[in-house]
Amino acid sequence: MPRKAVAVALGAVAIVAATLWASGRVRQPFIPVLALFLLVIAATLFGKTNRFADRLRPLVGRKVRVVAWGAELPGVAGATFILDKVLAIGPGLHIYLRLAPHGSPVHMKIAQPSGATLDDLQIEISGAKYVQWAGRKIPKRRGQSALFLNFIE
């Protein structure tokens, strides 16, 4: 079944469940949580962030250098990473990078990425609401792209 059809179906189920709960026909307390969860999944499947994540997944395992908002990542300047995992959750792109060759994966979140381009040598995301590395936001710099991943080898 095509991804958009699944997203529409999940969204419809979420709306029906929330409506039944709000009208009092269903009294289960977990229904609003389930409806919200289904809406997040539907939004993820529908969103452009998910399509970009799909394009990145074949690149998992490659070595990269990372620049966010025109600067190296805090605490790991000059480091080489391995692209470990790529996920889209709602409007956020979640990239897991590990220090080459044996580091543990570290989470990077790009909130509402826009202007994404991808070629054999690099990934550029020109805009984002914010970029977060290891749980901390990286200061935004005007005139700089949100993220560059330059592939090595």
- The pLDDT, as a whole number, for residue 83 is 92
CA atoms within 13 A on the CB side of 125: 27
pLDDT at 1 over 70: no
Quick one: pLDDT at residue 146? 94
Among residues 97, 88, 26, 103, the alpha carbon closest in space to that of 55 is found at 88
Q: What is the reported pLDDT for 91? A: 85
How far apart CA 37 and CA 54 sit, in angstroms, is: 21
Say if residue 104's pLDDT is above 80. Answer: yes
Provide the residue ranges of all domains of the chain, joining segments of one domain with +. Answer: 3-46, 52-152
Region 138-150 average pLDDT: 92
Look over the chain and give the mean of its residue pLDDT values, rounded to a whole number.
Answer: 87
Element (H, E) at 5: helix 3-23
Is 38 in contact with 44 (CB distance < 8 Å)?
no
- pLDDT band of residue 108 (cuts 50, 70, 90) is very high
pTM comes to: 0.78
What are 42-100's pLDDT values in tens digits?
777 777 788 888 888 888 999 999 999 999 988 888 889 999 999 988 889 999 999 87
